[in-house]
Amino acid sequence: MAAILSRYPADRKRAAMLPALRLVQEMKGYLTPETLALVAERLGVAPAAAGEVATFYTMLRVTPVGRYVIDLCTNVSCSLCGGERLLRHLERRLGVPVGGTTPDGKFTLREVECLASCGTAPVLQLNEEYHERLTPETVDALLDSLP
């Protein structure tokens, strides 16, 4: 946290909000009310300000998630290229609905808005990595390749 804060002027610590929240999420898996309050205190803002940022960005998580988070885009381009079909396929394959986590804690499936890779639709983000031009078969191969 100190390294992140050192990159910002002392009177603008609030600007470190996103990297600070990402760091805490990386360490803890998701952002609890306690960790949000801790970050807010370090940045000199109200806890609600950290909560607002944490709930605005889909890359930040305020609930427990699986080891692999699958964010499947079903916005216009992805939907036109089979995104909805992929979503149903993933629900069947994982045995959980959108927003669910598999009982073994391995996967969390989420439906997200545009991932800004419309030209390579349909797209999903697996943790930090994009996978593009997907089909049910390539999705299956991707899931099968994960330890």
Asked if residue 126 binds ligand FES (CB under 6 A), the reply is no
Q: Is the dihedral of CA 88, 112, 106, 121 positive or negative?
A: positive
Asked if residue 72 binds ligand FES (CB under 6 A), the reply is no
Asked if residue 115 binds ligand FES (CB under 6 A), the reply is yes
- What gap in Å lies between CA 146 and CA 95, rounded to an integer? 17
| Closer to ligand FES by Cβ: residue 75 or 108 | 75
Measuring CA to CA, which residue among 122, 135, 136, 111 is closest to residue 81?
Answer: 122
| Closer to ligand FES by Cβ: residue 36 or 122 | 122
Among 25, 35, 77, 108, binds ligand FES (CB under 6 A): 77
- What gap in Å lies between CA 129 and CA 132, rounded to an integer? 10
On the CB side of 23, CA atoms within 13 Å amount to: 12
Asked if residue 114 binds ligand FES (CB under 6 A), the reply is yes
Q: What are phi and psi of 114, to 5 degrees?
A: -45, 130
Instruction: State the binding string over 11-50 for ligand FES (x if CB under 6 A, else -).
Output: ----------------------------------------
Positions in the binding site for ligand FES (CB under 6 A): 73, 75-78, 114-118, 121, 123
